[in-house]
Amino acid sequence: MGASGGPIVYDGASAKAQLKSDGYVAVRDGINGPVTVPSVWADVSTDANTGWFLAFVAYPRVTSPYVSSVVGDPPNTSTSSQAKLADSAIRKLLNLGTKQTRTQWWHTSEAYGSVWADGSLNNDSTMYNLFEYPDNWSSDSSSGGQRFKRRNGPNSSYGDWITSAGDGCSGAVGGWSNYQQSSCTISWFAGCEGTPAYYHCCACPVDRASQLFIWAN
């Protein structure tokens, strides 16, 4: 059943066209193809042009997100513990759609108490990635040589293709979210923090992001 009792959708554009409200949907591989993602939370209310599917809710301050073992019930925006879709499902959503992810960051500094990221879609708290080959990316391994593009919330266009450095900071890890090429700042992996951090501060106490929502389209 769709988010509003409607039909099964098969990509973000179809989700936007078919669904009236956010909620769980099953995703079909093509208009008349088989169901390949049985249940995923769809956001059809915040983007004027497309729908987004929630792939991963991470709490890196509490639990490492570099794992595939948290696959279970598909997360929604109220999920209070770490949860994600299987990598095969994330790849399917990306390959059926536009090969993009949208990552919302929440990070209040433990060292300073200041808010570095508040999850807003309208500022640098949100980043977008475009993947050349989603099948080469995973949740628990790092590899260099993968091409992606990036932009932050306020920008409407991507920059040039970037090749991941594979140095732990910007390898194809965790990820589905990757902002820097070879710097750990605002990246899926920040070296001294040992997990995602919006702002890299090795002089601080370990200062990891509080929460991430990673959407696929």
Q: For residues 169 and 187, is the Cβ–Cβ distance under 8 A? A: yes
DSSP state of 71: B
Distance CA 25, CA 18 (A): 11
Q: Does position 183 have pLDDT exceeding 60, yes or no? A: no
pLDDT score for 1 = 41
Task: Return the half-sphere exposure (C-beta side, CA atoms, 13 A cut-off) of residue 206.
Answer: 11
Residue 55 burial (C-beta neighbours within 10 Å; 0-12, 13-18, 19+): buried
Distance CA 201, CA 197 (A): 9
89-141 tens-digit pLDDT: 999 999 999 999 999 999 998 888 999 999 999 998 998 889 899 988 877 66
Residue extents of the structural domains in the chain: 54-216
How many Cβ atoms are within 10 Å of 26's Cβ, its own excluded? Answer: 16
Residues in the chain: 217
143-157 tens-digit pLDDT: 667 788 888 888 889
pTM over 0.85: yes
